[in-house]
Amino acid sequence: MAETRIRSTIEGPVAILTLDRPEKLNALDQDMIGAIEDWAEATERNKSIRVAIITGNGEKAFSAGGDIAAWAGLDPISFMRDWIRTGHRVFDRLARLRQPLIAALNGHAFGGGLELAATADIIILEEHGRMGLPETGLAMVPGWSGTQRLVRRFGPRLVKRMTLTGEMFSAADALAKGMVDQIVPKGQSLGEALRIAEKIAARGPVAVQVAKQLVNAAEGEEQATALEAIAGALVAYTDDLKEGAASFREKRPALYEDR
């Protein structure tokens, strides 16, 4: 079912995921979340992909958030396990994608839609779009890292304003407050994202990926993973590793040179 609500395309070195449920303002359900996870895994494995983009179909909203019909009837345990934990895992996966991720917001980003947008490294918002976390108005709290990743990226005071009062920010406000990197006219977010993606794809791919990991680590996004991945890559190029592997294969003591 999700195939009809999620579209995946590739343009050269750029992978594009489109939320395609405009009649429901691209609200997310379990099947869509699962499809997003599959897309992230496929994008990660594809060595020809250097940049990824997430966007939405329609003229009004990137995503209005989680589909109330998808979670309102869940019992507490299922809600925690199948909705909150799954969403967290998938959004963490997007935020830690090895390729730079650009969010081309074709309209409003509310609740889970804003949490999804916040997984991106660069956020472009069309001028008619608004941003907000309306969950407490439904006696709910943000559940897909709205009180965690959004605090790291937007700051605690701003997130408190959105969560405690339900305040919505216009595109101009979002730009002024550092929530987005760029505002574009209606209908131009994807085109601008592709233009930026082309610039990124022309740069050294390994350097770009390592730079992203380093910034993520500084932000607290994946510090342990980044440190071990970079350290492992460094050691992999040494003669020590070659000797260690050779000694294992040949069943003899390793003879390491002094360094």
* Contacts for 245 with CB less than 8 Å, ≥ 6 apart: none
For the record, the structure tokens of 73 come out as 């009837």
User: 101: part of which helix (H) or strand (E)?
Assistant: strand 101-105
Catalytic entry in 126, 135, 192, 221? 135
Whether residue 146 contacts residue 117, with contact meaning beta carbons closer than 8 Å, is answered with no
* Contacts for 34 with CB less than 8 Å, ≥ 6 apart: 2, 86, 90
Catalytic entry in 115, 126, 192, 221? 115
Q: What is the 3-state secondary structure (H, E, C) of 192-249?
A: HHHHHHHHHHCCCHHHHHHHHHHHHHHHCCCHHHHHHHHHHHHHHCCHHHHHHHHHHH
For the record, the structure tokens of 208 come out as 């770009």
3 is catalytic: no
What CA dihedral angle connects 9, 34, 23 and 137, to 10 degrees? -130
Give the separation between CA 223 and CA 228, rounded to whole angstroms: 9
37 is catalytic: no
Q: Which residues are catalytic?
A: 115, 135
